[in-house]
């Protein structure tokens, strides 16, 4: 079976004033369909950069990334946007919810961009909010919810569009231990129930405990790749 994500000899450099920062140095990585895995490492190791390149949110100078057999280097800006819209869901540390929209409207937003009819959007959004434990909170706006509830909305929004891959950047960083574990259990259940591939960028030991594979980066290179039984 072909991997759902392939990174080959991936290099990424940032310019900070007169200094070149080598964020990634020849990374090779393959991710199988249905994996529940974490990219780990200290700050500056390159894990968030790698996640952003896989999601097409940033560009690389050398190498290649394939997502669902699409070569990211060959996609136009519109094609890259369509790939993200149809195949990739994102969960961010800062939630990135739209403040003026309710929970169900935030979850509906991606489906609106996909052209899903209104009636279907509403029913799917509420069903997904129920699945992440937010039944009855459909009309709450972000400022009326706790951090854990907001992150559950973000998880529901990422999953409701039925993507092949979820990219989660430090999704538990702002959560207490009980809330983080509850959220990880929800995402693990979604992975098992729907077969969605999860790739986390994290330095949180709790995420690494749940992940079935942990790829550790150090100074922009893959340092260790551990598959759990």
Q: What is the pLDDT of residues 11-64, one digit of tens each?
A: 999 888 888 889 999 999 999 999 999 999 988 899 999 999 999 999 999 999
Report yes or no on 23 lying in a domain: no
Number of domains in the chain: 1
Task: Please tell me the predicted confidence (pLDDT) of residue 149.
Answer: 92
Report yes or no on 62 lying in a domain: no
Task: Please tell me the predicted confidence (pLDDT) of residue 92.
Answer: 85
For residue 194, what are the domain limits?
35-45+77-227
Report yes or no on 52 lying in a domain: no
Q: What are 222's two structure tokens?
A: 């893959």
Report yes or no on 11 lying in a domain: no
Average pLDDT over residues 184-207: 91
CA–CA–CA angle 3, 7, 1 (5° rounding): 10
Report yes or no on 39 lying in a domain: yes
Measured in whole angstroms, the distance separating CA 42 from the mean position of its chain's CA atoms is 18
Give the Cα separation of 65 and 78 in Å (integer).
Answer: 17
Report yes or no on 64 lying in a domain: no
Q: How confident is the model at residue 165 (pLDDT cuts 50, 70, 90)?
A: very high
Give, in order, the Cα–Cα distances in Å from 213 to each of 197, 217, 227. Answer: 12, 13, 4
Report yes or no on 92 lying in a domain: yes
The answer to which of 91-95, 116-120, 141-145, 194-198 has the lowest mean pLDDT is 91-95
Count CB neighbours of 113 within 10 A: 12
Query: Dihedral through CA 160, CA 162, CA 167, CA 169, nearest 10?
Result: 0
> The domain that contains 113 carries what CATH number?
3.40.50.300
Give the Cα separation of 190 and 5 in Å (integer).
Answer: 19
Task: Please tell me the predicted confidence (pLDDT) of residue 2.
Answer: 80
| pTM of the complete model | 0.92
Average pLDDT over residues 166-192: 89
Q: Is beta strand 70-71 parallel, antiparallel or unpaired with respect to 88-91?
A: unpaired
Q: How confident is the model at residue 143 (pLDDT cuts 50, 70, 90)?
A: very high
Residue matched to tokens 């405990």 = 209
Report yes or no on 202 lying in a domain: yes
């Amino acid at each position: 079976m072909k991997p759902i994500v392939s990174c080959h000899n991936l290099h990424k450099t940032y310019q900070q004033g007169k200094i070149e920062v080598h964020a990634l140095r020849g990374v090779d990585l393959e991710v199988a369909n249905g994996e529940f895995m974490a990219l780990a490492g200290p700050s500056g190791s390159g894990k968030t950069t790698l996640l952003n390149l896989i999601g097409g949110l940033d560009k690389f100078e050398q190498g290649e990334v394939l997502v669902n057999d699409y070569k990211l280097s060959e996609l136009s800006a519109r094609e890259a946007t369509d790939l993200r819209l149809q195949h990739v869901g994102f969960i961010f540390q800062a939630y990135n919810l739209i403040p003026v929209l309710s929970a169900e409207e935030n979850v509906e937003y991606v489906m609106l961009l996909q052209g899903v009819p209104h009636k279907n959007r509403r029913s799917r959004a509420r069903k997904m909010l129920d699945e992440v434990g937010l039944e009855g909170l459909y009309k709450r706006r972000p400022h009326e919810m706790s951090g854990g509830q907001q992150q559950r909305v973000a998880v529901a929004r990422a999953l409701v569009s039925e993507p092949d891959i979820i990219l989660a950047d430090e999704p538990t960083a702002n959560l207490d231990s009980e809330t983080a574990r509850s959220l990880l259990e929800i995402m693990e259940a979604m992975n098992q129930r729907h077969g969605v591939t999860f790739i986390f960028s994290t330095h949180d030991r709790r995420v690494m405990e749940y992940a079935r594979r942990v790829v550790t980066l150090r100074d922009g290179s893959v340092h260790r790749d551990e598959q759990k039984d």
